[in-house]
Structure 1
Amino acid sequence: MDNKTSLFSTERVETSFLFIFIPTLLLVVVVISYKRLEFKRDRRVTLPPGPTPMPIFGCLFQMIKNKPRFRWIDQVMDELNTEIACIRIGGVHLIPVRSPELAREFLKKQDAIFSSRPYCMSGRISSKGYLTAILSPLGDQWKKMRRVLATEVLSMAKHRWFHDKRAEEADHLVHYVFNLSQNSSTNGMVNVRNVAQHYCGNVIRRLVFNKRFFGKGMEDGGPGLEEEEHVQGLFTILAYLYGFGIADYIPWLEVFDFDGYKRILKKAYENVTKYQDPEIDERVQMWNNGMKGKEEDILDVLINLKDDSLANNPLLTIEEIKAQITEIMIATVDNPSNAIEWAIAEMINQPDIFHKAHKELDDVVGRDRLVQESDLSKLNFVKACAREAFRLHPVAPFNVPHVSTKDTIVSGYFIPKDSHVLLSRPGLGRNPRVWNEPLKYMPERHIHDHDDASDVVLGDTELNMLSFSTGRRGCAGVLLGSTITTMLLARLIHGFTWNAPNGVPKIDLAESKGDLFLAKPLLALAKPRLNASAYKQL
């Protein structure tokens, strides 16, 4: 008994010692490594200005305390009066940037160094373990999926191939809004956010699955419960992907999920894929069984890609197809719908802008038919209205993070390897050094002094604003995104007049505290403005 007691006591002491010694040793190693990094950095150049970080956790507790977290970053930069900062969270250096000149340094001059993506909880969940083109870190998987998107899905040839599907969804948009405008129970009141988001959802579902709805939809042409849940899931993923969750910066805390980000993301991803994945499985089975012999949509294209180096086997696994389709969905719905909701809200408050847009549309298209994609090159002012919405009212506070692959120096500042560079969309688009009256909606600022009808584009490769980014990680879907955006705006303002609800003098343009959307979804009165024959074409 004495020997057993002694043995158990010794084991308890050893166990206690291990529980104390190992964490202490780890702490010492981390602190020494941190000090060595500080010493190394001090001998070279300094980091961009930022709050003083704590050992190990950095500014984690400040980030947790201050919500929404992206506005805390803006506040830090305001207090420091800087266009570039360094905020360390755990072992990650966040480098937010507001300067177009610095943005060009990161994404153009040193693009090769800043072309990776983070390994983190939200990116992993949203890409099925980094299987996709946008969210995958630098490597062979990213190269393969990027090539697939650029050459097989978003090429000019495929854009032309999908024209009729986009045209049908543009017709359906007008049909749906026309029905809403004639609804006596709502007196023609339309939820513009709902219309815009579901138009984008309809377009991309049509291109990917060759169907508008997963279910039956509503009699008036609106989304059904399936589409409501699908689109809501997409926007939830967008809200929490790289949303400054704790586990994205301190991975060993992921198991605790203190802020609930992991649970919310997983649930949203399930709500999206529960509608998509059965469609994909069924289609793969159809091709395997010889029940389908003609490619009709993006899903068919992805299924039939072949790997010539492996005896003509499929290039993509089913899991890669599922992950990439979800990413395509995520990348399509947000930017156009947000920009057009803001544009119409701003234009309602400035009727002279509406008058100019209506005049351009009537001069180019007339009132006997609906505006078509072939008209868009001539609609310079309409495109300027959309571009101005991208500038002033971006959909997200930052772009997808660019991760540095090695230590480097940018504009005299030391940028450590694995830093997350975050270009501030509002910081660039509302920069007073670049834009005159930056907080005023003025589409005319994008019209140059000549009559080149194709002059206005929605992107900006000089990064004075950030809509589609640039460089190796620039958006591969610029053409599709620009077409969806411009067509959505053109159809809504060509086909209808829009006014504030009765008794409301102006639309409240307050920005939501938690994101960059309008604080309240835009409700507006819509009335048909074309000749009756134009609507009968539907």
Structure 2
Amino acid sequence: MAMNATSINVVISISFSTSMSTTIISLVVTIFSILYFLQLLSSWPCPWPLVGNLPQLFRHKPTFRWVHGFMRQMNTEIACFRVRNTHFIPVLSPEIAREIYKKQDAVFACRPLTLWTQEMSGRYKTVVLAPHSDQWRKMKKIWISEVVSPARLKWLHDKRAEEGDNLVFYVQNQCKVNKIVDLRLVTRHYSTNVVRKMLFGRRNFGKGTPDGGPGPEEMEHVEAVFITMKYLDLDGQQKLVKHVNKDLIGKYHNPIIDERIHQWRSGQREDMDDILDVFINLKDPSGQPFLTEDEIRYQLAVFVGPGSLRFPLGFLNNGPFLRILKLRIASVDNPSNAVEWAMAEMINQPQLMKKAQEEIDRVVGMERLVQESDIRELNYVKACAREAYRLHPLSPFNVPHMSMQDTTVAGYHIPKGSHVIVSRYGLGRNPKVWVNPHSFEPERHMNDEDVSLLQNDLRFISFSTGRRGCIAGMLGTYMTIMLLARLVQCFDWTPPPKGIDLSEAADDILTPATPITAFAKPRLPPHLYPI
């Protein structure tokens, strides 16, 4: 059959287009295949076209260990990994960290903006996740003056003291029934109790249990607090964050908040008892509420919420997420993780436990329980806690700081928009800074007359520093030391038959691989134990 000119042109055009497409696809596949095999053969993480170092970060898990291993191999304490158009710059050196957090603090005072942080913070209403803005300055001022000021912490002292007594009561009951105590459950239960008591004036969302332990509501609440640390996947992050928000804010917080607001507005409540009352009663110069209801909800969620959420890497706003980073938001998991590790190390080295008990007996005696007022003199106990924060940080990296302009750090050019991530893990185990960095040695911190958990020279990170550092360092100190000191003072501890497992979890959080358990036996006169 004859074919006219128009038909011939169409056929030639289609054939040419198909041929060109096949050639381009083949060329792209060939290039990426060559790059892939070069990556396998090379120790250098060369960035891929368009996606940067994303393939390496996907392939190597847990990612933070690969990052640290690469930096050790290259003998560098600062590096740059590119994911699409975003530069991530991990830092392992105290000197470089001080340059970022102190000398150039104003340049790195911003946070990355992501769909994830927007969801978690109610569109950046919270002090931790808000970018450098008027909202951040507003919320920081409120936290410093109204939540964690010395006067406010003194006002809330009795609530923390009550939870210290409940801690002893609960562990003693575990001794009677099970003999062996789950220290992860104990430390997390205490930490969440303290925070709930200060925020809402209550220990339990439900009825609790007669032995002082958590009820089903508290167990579910704690699970919501910690779930994002362990079960983040590459596709379900947005869904998971919304689930956590629903559990934390919708199911448990909102009914209390709504009822309390109604009580104040209707005149049923007149006396302030907790932080929720404080937030509701803050007024602006015209006498109107200073915080919106949403601001109150998200501030409380951040305070009691997940303390080490995984921070999404990369292009952040419209693609898959990575699990390299953690975001320490609050005061729940940091003290509980540090004390679980400290107890594990001290039970594993009984001479350390004995030395800590002797110090408490000398300072406090055997006829009363240790109190917050004793903390100043408990230098060895504080040294044990410091060593736990140094050697066993929960989060491999600190919260990202985003550069607001081009700058130079340690002689390296840092482009505007780069995410600088100081490594808690790398600082604390830096062999240039610490002798025997992998050994738990509290004595290394006993050079000062007054040992402090704060670490302003950034040889390790406990509560961070700088204008975007943790503003609740004093509260964190009270919670950490009281939790550790009560466990050490009130009970003798011996390991289970299989011993203490000091291995770290094989993912992106640095909890013990298995919850620390040990046998406990009361060591004080019976009348001192709360009933």
TM-score, normalised via structure 2 length: 0.85
CA root-mean-square deviation: 2.0
Tell me the distance in 1 between the aligned counterparts of 2:504 and 2:206. 34
Residue identity opposite 1:217 in structure 2: G
* Structure 2 counterpart of 1:276, from 229, 253, 258: 253
Q: Report deviation, 1:260.
A: 1.8
Deviation per residue, 1:321-379 (Å, 9 max, x gap):
11111111130111100000000100011111011001001111122211111111111
Runs of 5+ consecutive residues of structure 1 not aligned to the other structure: 1-16, 18-23, 25-48, 246-257
Is the deviation greater in 62-71 or in 366-375? Answer: 62-71
Q: Report deviation, 1:486.
A: 0.2
Deviation per residue, 1:518-538 (Å, 9 max, x gap):
000001101100011211x54
Deviation per residue, 1:89-114 (Å, 9 max, x gap):
12211111100000001000000000
Tell me the distance in 2 between the aligned counterparts of 1:68 and 1:266. 25
Aligned to 1:483: 478
Pair 261,75 (structure 1): closer, same or farther in 2 beyond 3 Å: farther
Q: Report deviation, 1:305.
A: 0.6
* Structure 2 counterpart of 1:458, from 453, 456, 468: 453
Aligned to 1:229: 220
* 1:472 matched to 2:447: no
* 1:390 matched to 2:389: yes
Among all aligned residue pairs of Structure 1 and Structure 2, give the percentage whose two residues are the same amino acid.
51
Q: 3-state SS of the aligned residue for 1:414?
A: strand
Q: Report deviation, 1:238.
A: 4.7
Q: 3-state SS of the aligned residue for 1:512?
A: coil
Tell me the distance in 2 between the aligned counterparts of 1:375 and 1:533. 21
Tell me the distance in 2 between the aligned counterparts of 1:534 and 1:138. 49
* Structure 1 counterpart of 2:128, from 123, 127, 134: 134
Aligned to 2:237: 261
Output aligned runs, 1:12-91, within 5 Å: 51-91=45-85
Asked if the contact 1:403/1:418 (under 8 Å) is kept, the reply is yes
Deviation per residue, 1:153-199 (Å, 9 max, x gap):
1100001000111100000000000000111xx2x111000100010
Tell me the distance in 1 between the aligned counterparts of 2:444 and 2:428. 13
Residue identity opposite 2:263 in structure 1: M
Output aligned runs, 1:128-527, within 5 Å: 128-183=122-177, 186=178, 188-238=179-229, 258-273=234-249, 274-308=251-285, 311-330=286-305, 331-448=330-447, 452=449, 455-501=450-496, 503-504=497-498, 506-514=499-507, 515-527=509-521
Q: Report deviation, 1:426.
A: 1.1
Asked if the contact 1:236/1:265 (under 8 Å) is kept, the reply is no
Deviation per residue, 1:201-221 (Å, 9 max, x gap):
000000000000101111211
* 1:533 matched to 2:527: yes
Q: Report deviation, 1:79.
A: 3.0
Residue identity opposite 2:292 in structure 1: T
Q: 3-state SS of the aligned residue for 1:345?
A: helix
Tell me the distance in 2 between the aligned counterparts of 1:300 and 1:237. 29
Task: Count residues in correspondence.
Answer: 468
Aligned to 1:46: none
Tell me the distance in 2 between the aligned counterparts of 1:235 and 1:85. 30
Tell me the distance in 2 between the aligned counterparts of 1:69 and 1:285. 48
TM-score, normalised via structure 1 length: 0.84
Deviation per residue, 1:482-537 (Å, 9 max, x gap):
00000000000000011111x22x311001111200000001101100011211x5
Q: Report deviation, 1:80.
A: 2.2
Q: 3-state SS of the aligned residue for 1:81?
A: coil
Residue identity opposite 2:462 in structure 1: S
Tell me the distance in 1 between the aligned counterparts of 2:74 and 2:284. 52
Asked if the contact 2:107/2:405 (under 8 Å) is kept, the reply is yes
Asked if the contact 1:302/1:316 (under 8 Å) is kept, the reply is yes
Q: Report deviation, 1:50.
A: 7.2
Is the deviation greater in 280-289 or in 78-87? Answer: 78-87
Q: Report deviation, 1:239.
A: 5.3
Asked if the contact 2:45/2:56 (under 8 Å) is kept, the reply is no
Q: Report deviation, 1:122.
A: 2.4
Deviation per residue, 1:11-43 (Å, 9 max, x gap):
xxxxxx9xxxxxx9xxxxxxxxxxxxxxxxxxx
Runs of 5+ consecutive residues of structure 2 not aligned to the other structure: 1-16, 18-23, 25-42, 306-329
Pair 162,445 (structure 1): closer, same or farther in 2 beyond 3 Å: same
Tell me the distance in 2 between the aligned counterparts of 1:238 and 1:468. 18
Deviation per residue, 1:27-65 (Å, 9 max, x gap):
xxxxxxxxxxxxxxxxxxxxxx97322232111122222
Tell me the distance in 1 between the aligned counterparts of 2:292 and 2:100. 34
Q: Report deviation, 1:139.
A: 0.3
Asked if the contact 2:119/2:242 (under 8 Å) is kept, the reply is yes
Aligned to 1:42: none
Deviation per residue, 1:393-428 (Å, 9 max, x gap):
001111111111011000110111111111110100
